[in-house]
């Protein structure tokens, strides 16, 4: 994992096609990012990707609704990996 420090207005490049710019850093540490990438590239928040994976797992095997809800709300109760 690469860890970088950037200030508001500064960017980083991923390959030749992706540019991530720090738009602002708000009180409480919340960071707003702008991502410039080809439209054909899927960009998801990690919690949505985990929920998608859990949904696919649930389609293959039985998972409780509370397990799936925990993934959406950020809980780790009973999360299968």
The whole-number pLDDT of residue 4 equals: 92
Least confident window among 10-14, 63-67, 75-79: 75-79
20's tokens: 């991530």
8 A C-beta contact, residue 54 and residue 48: no
Per-domain residue ranges for the chain?
6-38, 44-74
- Split at pLDDT 50, 70, 90, the class of 14 is very high
Residue 32 phi/psi, 5° resolution?
-105, 130
């Amino acid at each position: 994992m690469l860890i970088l420090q950037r200030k508001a207005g500064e960017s980083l490049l991923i390959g030749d096609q992706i540019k991530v710019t720090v738009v602002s850093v708000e009180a409480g540490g919340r960071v707003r990012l702008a991502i410039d990438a080809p439209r054909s590239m899927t960009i998801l928040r990690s919690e949505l990707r985990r929920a998608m994976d859990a949904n696919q797992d649930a389609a293959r095997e039985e998972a409780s609704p509370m397990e799936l809800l925990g993934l959406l709300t950020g809980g780790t109760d009973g999360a299968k990996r």
